[in-house]
Structure 1
């Protein structure tokens, strides 16, 4: 698939979606008379690793099909569901089970997210997809627009979004506890770098369909250092630590500060490698003002790196506070640090007697349950593909800026870096023959 064809196909898919939107799939797709108590018929694409948790999250519905390119994983995860048909190729599963399927869960490698998701949505199926929503910025925009036009129930797998802690942080920020926020620092200790080389020369394991594992990616001989756990270290299949963890942590920033799309993006790190993702990235995004909210600079640090501002705080006893993975909001009147499970207002001595606002964001029924309810009744989800698409675009733009080595002036409406036409090579990608978005 040429990049020109990718654009034409984007327009074609959008046209299909526009037609589909005239008959919106609101609620369960098996008929208007279906009860919210009826069980969904769900197909699972990728049931192992992260996919296992997603399978568990929807296991109380009817699992009618399970697909995995690895026969060992397929056998293990499908065993509790003897009535589910087993497949190696998700395209065959969706084609054969289309009349029966109501919804699809996608938990594949990043580079297969968009093909599986778009195929399912074009069939009128509700979709839950793991983070990041897609492998490229262009795919994220296409998937978000398709979801909006079809009205299908969608949810991206940022499960932390459903926790009480994230809700309390959003309330603190939006109530003005630390004043207007102009800078945010996101800290992540992970390192995805290995050596940037594909280990070839070994035979394909008998349980693995290597051709299907590659999917739309460049055809290459079997590589024994990508499946099942290290694929995020390679640009062809993942986007390093930023692609892996960015949606979880930056989600809190986007939600708290009502961020739209950035206007400027830049990043630095080791010299970019053509094959392997870097040992660390420091990425930065500038977001314009939103109504009465001031402009915001968002900063990302992975590989254990941290800015000086994160090293200045002390506990009540004078010992230094050591931040792990999390988000440091910098307000005009103070600071707030939050991770998945806790939050703290800083400096400690200033907020010792602070009374937080009364909880106002309702407790989640559960991240997977939100989506299941939406499939059945048309109720909203908090990480629908409109929200998740913007979040994914932001995250992936950081990798684009890093790979181009330029400070990108971003025109979100036109989906282009106005000062760096070469960025287009990383905003989209070529699909190999036999793989399309459709």
Structure 2
């Protein structure tokens, strides 16, 4: 697949109205026929959650690993199976109502765009794309062609996060001047690229796994199945994994757009893996819920976050393992643990009881992930059936993903402040613009 498929031709396709305005009307029947691209690990979780909807029929399964394909086929024996998503979308176009993309990050955009070009609603795992140019192109194409979309940030639909959003917008801590967010996970790799190669497992189509990414020899334990997030060519590091989840609620609650400046305090680039420790500082323009500018600091890697007075808790309590802290201009704070814990209000160094009046529309706290985790998926299915609207469409997901990706790019220029122009989608620092995109390998 050539990158021009959606980067060079997106505007032209939209201009000639390639797709009818009711492109997804085929899905507004009594049931939804879904095809799933990537069914290992998170892909299996996505498959189970989508299929748990009573009005879903799984008709297509695609994975480059035949073991994963066999497991999913046993669960859905009537579904057709493929190793190449391009073949599935070509052969089954008339039999599919919606597509679920749960591949490694570098295949999100190629697979999602191809599905959208065929008029299919798309649920795509986070982060939405691997490159900034892809995020902007997907956002535009989905909007121009009226396609139903949803990014896989399941906690977006959880009670605790909706509650925190409501509280912040109601002014519980006033205008927010700073957000500090963290995860001690380590989807980084500070070593050098591996040398040599190992035999490709007979169950894996390595060429299809690489897809549009650069050619590379297979090396056991470095890529498929579990460690691709650590590698520049395939993943987006810890920031692109946990960062998307933990950024989501503050980003949404504060109605942020993309940042003005980005600086990543990390080790020097190696050209292969993401840094194991990152401290990324963003500045955002003012919104109705922030001060004139908003400072946002992200910490990841073992031991994160770094100590800071903004993160000191009452009674000597320890911070939750992952989470975010909103800091108001008058010093009031709201702690949002990740995940399935209520936010905590901190005033003058003490916890204060939350006033939950007026929050009935949010629902009730749920402490069971299996039931609450399905909400985001079912919302997408219901939207495709004309019964609901998605809460994380590509219009929102692309901006959040762009913000995340700018932080990973800043990691290639450690300790240097990069200046981002949202209108032109360019850095003032020309050397950084080369990382907004990458050529696609034909495969």
Same fold (TM over 0.5): yes
Alignment of 1:4-15 (within 5 A): 10-15=7-12
Whole-Å separation in 1 of the counterparts to 2:146 and 2:48: 26
Name the SS of the counterpart of 1:29 in structure 2. Answer: helix
Give the Cα–Cα distance (whole angstroms) in 1 for the partners of residues 247 and 200 of structure 2. 37
> What SS is found at the alignment partner of 1:427?
coil
Number of the residue aligned with 1:288: 285
User: Per-residue deviation at 1:430?
Assistant: 1.1
Q: Does structure 2 retain, via aligned residues, the 8 Å contact 1:18–1:150?
A: no
Q: Does 1:266 align with 2:263?
A: yes
- Which secondary structure state, in structure 2, belongs to the residue aligned with residue 404 of structure 1? coil
Q: Contact 1:46–1:107 at 8 Å: present in 2 too?
A: yes
Residue pairs, 1:422-433, within 5 angstroms: 422-433=431-442
Contact persistence 2:344–2:352 (CA under 8 A): no
CA displacement at 1:113 relative to structure 2: 0.2
The answer (yes or no) to whether the contact 2:132–2:405 under 8 Å persists in 1 is yes
| Structure-1 residue corresponding to 2:34 | 42
TM-score using structure 1 length: 0.91
Query: Match for residue 355 of structure 1?
Result: 355
Pick from 379, 395, 416 the counterpart of residue 370 of structure 1: 379
Count matched residues. Answer: 422
Q: CA RMSD in A?
A: 2.1
Q: Secondary structure at the match of 2:400?
A: helix
2:213 aligned residue = 217
Q: Which of 409, 423, 426 in structure 2 is aligned with 1:416? A: 426
> Any conservation in 2 of the 1:21–1:149 contact (CA below 8 Å)?
no
Aligned counterpart in structure 2 of residue 337 of structure 1, from 332, 335, 338 = 335
**Structure 1's 172 and 291: CA in aligned 2 closer, same or farther, altered over 3 A?**
closer
Note if contact 2:184-2:305 (Cα within 8 Å) is conserved in structure 1.
no
The residue matched to 1:20 in structure 2 has which SS? coil
1:91-132 residue CA offsets vs partner (Å, 9 max, x unmatched): 000000011111000000000000000000000000000000
Give the whole-Å Cα distance in 1 for the aligned partners of 2:237 and 2:395.
Answer: 23
- Out of 363, 367, 380, which is 2:389 matched to? 380
Q: Say which is worse superposed, 344-353 or 269-278, in terms of deviation.
A: 344-353
Deviations 1:387-434 (A, max 9, x none): 00000000010011111333111111111002x111122111111124
Q: 1:162 to 1:172 in 2, by over 3 A?
A: same
Whole-angstrom distance in 2 between the partners of 1:384 and 1:360: 25
User: Separation in 1 of the partners of 2:353 and 2:75?
Assistant: 52
- Residue deviations 1:322-350, cap 9 Å, x none? 33200011112411111222211114764
SS of aligned partner of 1:274: coil
Gaps of 5+ in 1: none
Structure 2 regions of 5+ residues with no counterpart? 364-371
